[in-house]
Amino acid sequence: MSENRIVIFDTTLRDGEQSPGCSMNVEEKLRIARQLERLKVDVIEAGFPIASPGDFIGVKTVADTIKECQVAGLCRAKDTDIDRAWEALQGAVDPRIHTFIATSPIHMQHKLRMEPDEVIEAAVAAVKRAKSHTSNVEWSAEDAGRTEPDFLCRIVEAVIAAGATTVNIPDTVGYTLPHEYGERIRTLCERVPNIHKAIISVHCHNDLGLAVANSLSAVINGARQVECTINGLGERAGNASLEEVVMALRTRKDILPYSCGVDTTEIMRSSKLVSSVTGFPVQPNKAIVGANAFAHESGIHQDGVLKKADTYEIMTPASVGLSTNRMVLGKHSGRHAFKERLKSLGHDLDNEQLKRAFERFKELADKKHELFDEDLEVLVDEEMYRHFG
């Protein structure tokens, strides 16, 4: 794989499903997995097989069906978890076992109640156990964002020596800032002697709204796998949003000279499917996939976009699978967009008619957020037939 290729690891079906109120049944997981395959993500994390019998079947069904992506299942650093994950995953074309253990002082002391050396021992044993099933093993340092850097280097070196092929450095509680998180990744690249034997992965939560920025900073500093979810679903405030990461990589090649395999024209369809399956609406101003992401209301913007789209659009609607942008006709709109919309509805008014209709439109727009085509039809009717009144 090229040095600048970013592996896109989608965890909508695992971390995304951990959004409160978001759990999915087997059929729903399979529908989303099929769409993720069309989207061409590299890895689908299908669930946490030991969590419940339903999740086991969900992971197994995805593993047995999906042919074009690696399929991963999550497990703690325990033999029973790892073996159960393997049971679910073994039918996959390229199965990945993803095992994790917490590494921050607060988690080790209060949650695990283990000494740091015991945590290293458990992590190494888990990787070896996973390795006895498959060569494709990912290990995660839960709460790596708050882990002491020397300890993180030690444990990462140990799990790579034990056979981990991907090492994931999660900012589990969304605590770090972009420069800080990037530096953490660089430190690992510089200080862990066997780091070149594994892919460094990042998994950022969005508690401070920085998950995407942190992920990109990690990439700039050496990470080559990004874990993310459709619409940014995930525990609490969610995970890094896949569509934002991928479109940033595509749009800012000058600063981010990396590639990934995602077919961006499947982004909108993926977003809509995940929203309808989970019942989680997408906020209108959500980057890339929100209803307003390619909508223009102000007259100045509309005029610019009608003359040349990239005056106000940094990516094309088609690149994310939308047929067109949207001119919203409201009180900020200008004559140019108004006239174009009337034309598209088959009405070619002369200058006088257009002037009067536009004045009337502005009066109405002060009373209504948005004027729709039906409102314009009424307006044109009024203008055409005013002499007969």
Please state the residue numbers annotated as binding site for Mn(2+).
Answer: 15, 203, 205, 239
Q: Does residue number 206 form part of the binding site for ligand KIV (CB under 6 A)? A: no
Q: Which residue of 142, 243, 297, 383 would you call a contact of ligand KIV, by CB under 6 A?
A: 142
Q: Does 172 bind ligand KIV (CB under 6 A)?
A: yes
Q: In the complex with Zn ion, which residue's Cβ is closer, 143 or 266? A: 143
CB of 140 to ligand KIV, least distance (A): 4
User: Which residues are bridge partners to 95 per DSSP?
Assistant: 71
Q: Which stretch binds ligand KIV (CB under 6 A): 29-37, 165-173, 289-297, 305-313?
A: 165-173
Which tokens belong to 287?
Answer: 């980057």
Question: Is residue 203 at the binding interface for ligand KIV, with CB under 6 A as the rule?
Answer: yes
Binding site partner of 238, from ligand KIV, Zn ion, none, Cβ cut-off 5-8 A by kind: none
What does residue 346 show for φ and ψ, rounded to 5 degrees? 90, 20
Nearest approach, Cβ of residue 139 and ligand KIV (Å): 10
Q: Applying CB under 5 A, does 138 fall inside the site for Zn ion?
A: no
Structure tokens at 182: 């990037």
Give the sign of the dihedral formed by CA 44, CA 47, CA 49, CA 53.
negative
Binding-site size for ligand KIV (CB under 6 A) equals 9
- For residue 124, the minimal CB distance to ligand KIV (Å) is 18
CA distance 32 to 46: 10
Contact between 10 and ligand KIV by CB under 6 A: the answer reads no
Contact flag: residue 170 with ligand KIV (CB under 6 A)? yes
Q: How far is the CB of 256 from ligand KIV (least distance, A)?
A: 23
Residue nearer to ligand KIV on the CB measure, 75 or 262 = 75
Strand partners, 45: 72
Say whether residue 15 binds Zn ion (CB under 5 A). Answer: yes
> Which of 265, 196, 271 is CA-nearest to residue 229?
271
Q: Which is nearer to Zn ion, 89 or 240 (CB)?
A: 240
The item of ligand KIV, Zn ion, none sharing an interface with residue 100, based on CB under 5 to 8 Å by kind, is ligand KIV
- Residue 215 interacts, among ligand KIV, Zn ion, none and using kind-specific CB cut-offs from 5 to 8 Å, with none
Task: Examine residue 15 and tell whether it contacts ligand KIV (CB under 6 A).
Answer: yes
Residue 203 contacts residue 18 (beta carbons within 8 Å): no
Please, what is the minimum distance in Å from the beta carbon of residue 281 to Zn ion? 22
Smallest gap from Cβ 203 to Zn ion, in A, equals 6
- Per-residue interface string for the shown chain with ligand KIV, residues 111-140, x marking contact by CB under 6 A: -----------------------------x
Choose between 101 and 379: whose C-beta lies nearer to ligand KIV: 101
Q: Which stretch binds ligand KIV (CB under 6 A): 24-32, 166-174, 257-265, 289-297?
A: 166-174
Sites of contact with ligand KIV (CB under 6 A): 15, 100, 140, 142, 168, 170, 172, 203, 205
